[in-house]
Amino acid sequence: MKKINLNEEDKNRLIQMAWQDRTTFEGIKKEFGLTENQVKNLMRKLISKNGFKRWRKRVQDRITKHEKKVDFKPIRFKGPW
């Protein structure tokens, strides 16, 4: 398995993107080169145990997290700033 090196800013951005409903896993892959499983594993390490459980419950079976299932065509991640 390839070691993933992210600086603190990238980790924070990844967490924000993963929590955002309209940011697909494909968008995260374009930004960071991480697969859906890699994102899940990183989220497990980056956030608290309860936070991870809440996040997984939120994104599990969520149509908007997969580009092929959404009606809109996401161009890129747009954060709250």
- 77 belongs to a structural domain: no
Residue-wise pLDDT tens digits, 30-43: 899 999 999 999 99
Q: Which range of residues forms the domain containing residue 53?
A: 8-69
- 2 belongs to a structural domain: no
- Pick the closest to residue 78 from 17, 29, 12, 15 (CA basis): 17
- 27 belongs to a structural domain: yes
Residue-wise pLDDT tens digits, 30-76: 899 999 999 999 999 999 999 999 999 988 877 666 666 556 565 55
- 12 belongs to a structural domain: yes
Q: Are 73 and 22 in contact (CB under 8 A)?
A: no
**N-term to C-term CA, the chain:** 34
> How many domains is the chain built from?
1
Q: What is the Cα–Cα distance from 72 to 57, expressed in whole angstroms? A: 23
- 81 belongs to a structural domain: no
- 54 belongs to a structural domain: yes
Q: What is the pTM of this model?
A: 0.75
Question: CA Rg, the chain, in Å?
Answer: 12
Q: What is the Cα–Cα distance from 44 to 48, expressed in whole angstroms? A: 7
